[in-house]
Structures are given as C-alpha cells and as structure tokens.
Amino acid sequence: MAINTAHAEKHHTAYLTYVFVWLALTVLTLITIWVSYIDFGVLNIIVALSVASVKASLVALFFMHLKYEDTMTWVFVLYPLGLLALLIGLTISDVFYR
Amino acid sequence: MEEIGVHHGHVHHIDPVVEYESAKFGMWLFLATELLLFGGLFAAYTIFRAKYPALFEEQHHELNKTLGALNTIILIFSSLTMAMGVSSIQKGKKTLLTIFLALTIICGIIFGVNKYFEYSAKFHHHIYPSTSIFFALYFMMTGLHMLHVIAGLGVLTVILVLNIKGKFSERYNTPVEVGGLYWHLVDLIWIYLFPLLYLIA
C-alpha cells in the first residue's frame, strides 16, 4: 500500500511541457546573447542576470519539480537563496558605498 | 519492485515513502550547500568586477563567446533529456530512460570536450589563472563547475548501468530522480556563469 502511495504522490509532467520549457530556455539564451551586443550601460548586467534568473526558475520549477514540492523543501531552497542575497547585497553595499 | 518488498519486509523497516521523500530532501539540502559554495566565488566576482570594470570588459573578449554559447545550449538540452528520463522511468519505460540517460551523458561529455579546447586555447595564448584577477576568477569558477560536470557524469553513468541491470521501475526510481536533481544544479550554475564571464558588455 505504502509503495502505491509513493507512486501516486509523484507528479507526472507531460513530455510536451518539458519541451516547451526547453524551448523557452533556448529562446532566453539567444536573447541574452543578443542583448549583450547592445550597449545599455549598467542595465546590461541587470538584464543579463534577470534573464538568467528567469531561466534558473524555469529549470528549478519544472525540470526539478520544485513546483510540486512541499513547504519544507521550499524553505530549504529559499533559505540559502536569502543567505546568498545577503552575501552579495552586503558585498555590493561595501564595495560601492565604502 | 521485489527489491523494495524485500527491503520493506526483512532488511530494514523504512517506509518507502519516507525513504523517497528523505532522499530527495537530502539532495535539496546538499544543493543548498553547493549554491553557497559557488556563492563565495560570486561574491569575489562582484568585488573585483566593481573594482576593475575596465579590466573585466577588456579581458572577457579573450573568451570564446561561440563555444560558451554552444556549451550553454548543450547543457540546457542535457537538462531536458534528464527531465524526460526521470519522467520515462516514472512511467516504467526503462529503455527510454537508457536512451535519455545516454543522451544526457553524451551532452555532458561534449561540454567537457569544448571546455578542454577552450582551456587549451587559453594556455596556448599564455593565459593562466595568474594572468589577471579576471582569469583567476574565470578558471576558478568554470573549473569548479567542470568538476561538478565530471561528478555528475559519474553519477549518471552509475544510474545508467543500474538501469541496464534492471534496478529501476515505475515503483522504484529514487536514485534516478535524485541524481537528476544534481545534474540540473550543474545546469543552473552555468546559466549564471555564462553571462557573467562571456557576455560582459
């Protein structure tokens, strides 16, 4: 019985969903490359990192099934991301506003 | 499936659901530490890029944008085949998992070969980690990432062999899913490394 429950709890994503996610990732990669040839000044890195973050979210949510994970897993995904934001944020404030 | 039955009944009394959830959660915890491992390098990158913007802009032209872009496309495709592989075995399709795993491994190897050519070209032009702080970061970040690709390829190869031996099924495929999570992390890190190192405008 327990085994069947384990099976039932797994989420089955359709192959087609994955293909769409992959297409989106590929298009976003091409956009990143294209944008790098245009000079937006300081905005360039912001655009590049924003696109990268959208891509990373797509990989995590769909390919890694984060979308279907429980609260506990989400906490342990967001916690290190918060630490990382703190580390990079404080670094930036230190370097630029010293 | 018999294996789980035996495990469940005689060897150790772990509920398969608990075992599955714990293994997956354990991998997410490990991925959290991996993120922070790279986090230190991202912080170092932030400091030095802020200090020497001209150096970063000038020296990043030495990097092969085409090979970098190609590797990005390859790694993203390998993430697709990995995800499809996990889906396949969850539906009990072992042969499909073998095919998808093989494709994923081939992509990983092509990534490594491209990286080998990139590093060789740098050494040929007498560019080493000691050349500048930009190249120190480039070699450190892509090198640490490459170690993860190699580790991931090792994990996937073991899973492939186990699958060919018939160890996985619709009911038992935890190592495939957990190994897949690790492979996706390798893709995630590269998604940030590519624009930060190759595409400085």
The DSSP secondary-structure symbol of B125 reads T
b/e map of B28-64 (b: 16 or more CB within 10 Å)?
Answer: beebbebbeebbebbbbbbebbeeeeeebeebbeebe
Angle at B22 between CA B15 and CA B182, to 5 degrees: 135
pLDDT at A2: 41
pLDDT digits (tens, 9 = 90+) for B56-74: 999 999 999 999 999 999 9
Instruction: Say which residue, B10 or B90, is predicted with more confidence.
Output: B90
Q: Letter for the amino acid at A19?
A: V
DSSP A40: -
Mean pLDDT of B6-18: 67
Interchain proximity A36–B201, CB inside 8 Å: yes
**Regarding predicted confidence, which is higher, B10 or B128?**
B128
Query: Mind listing the pLDDT tens digit for each residue in B107-158?
Result: 999 999 999 999 999 999 999 999 999 999 999 999 999 999 999 999 999 9
Flag if B171 and A21 touch (Cβ within 8 Å): no
ipTM: 0.90
pLDDT beyond 70 at A8: no
Angle at Cα B199 formed by Cα B41 and Cα B46, nearest 5°? Answer: 30
**pTM score:** 0.90
**What is the number of residues in chain B?**
201
Q: Residue A96 — pLDDT band, cuts 50, 70, 90?
A: confident
Instruction: Measure CB to CB from residue B43 to each of A62, A76, A91 and give the nearest one.
Output: A91
Residue tagged 């991301």 (tokens): A81
Say how far apart CA A44 and CA B198 lie, in whole Å.
13
pLDDT at A9: 53
Surface of A (47-76) touching B: CB under 8 A: 48-49, 51-52, 55-56, 59-60, 62-64, 69, 72-73, 76
Q: Mean pLDDT of all residues in chain A?
A: 88
Average pLDDT for B179-195: 97
Record: contact B80-A21, CB cut-off 8 A: yes
CB-based contacts of A23, cutoff 8 Å, min separation 6: none
Interval B36-57 mean pLDDT: 95
Give the three-state DSSP class for B157: helix
Residues 6+ positions from B152 with CB-CB distance below 8 Å: B108, B182, B183, B186
Q: Quick one: pLDDT at residue A11?
A: 67
Task: Map out the domains of chain B with their CATH numbers.
Answer: 35-198 (1.20.120.80)
**Residue B71: per-residue pLDDT:** 97
Q: Tell me the one-letter amino acid at B66.
A: T
Work out the average pLDDT over A64-92.
95
Residue B61 to residue B64: CA distance in whole angstroms: 8
The CA distances from residue B22 to B11, B16, B71, in Å, are 18, 10, 33
Which of A35, A64, A67, A74 to mutate against chain B (most B CBs within 10 Å)?
A64
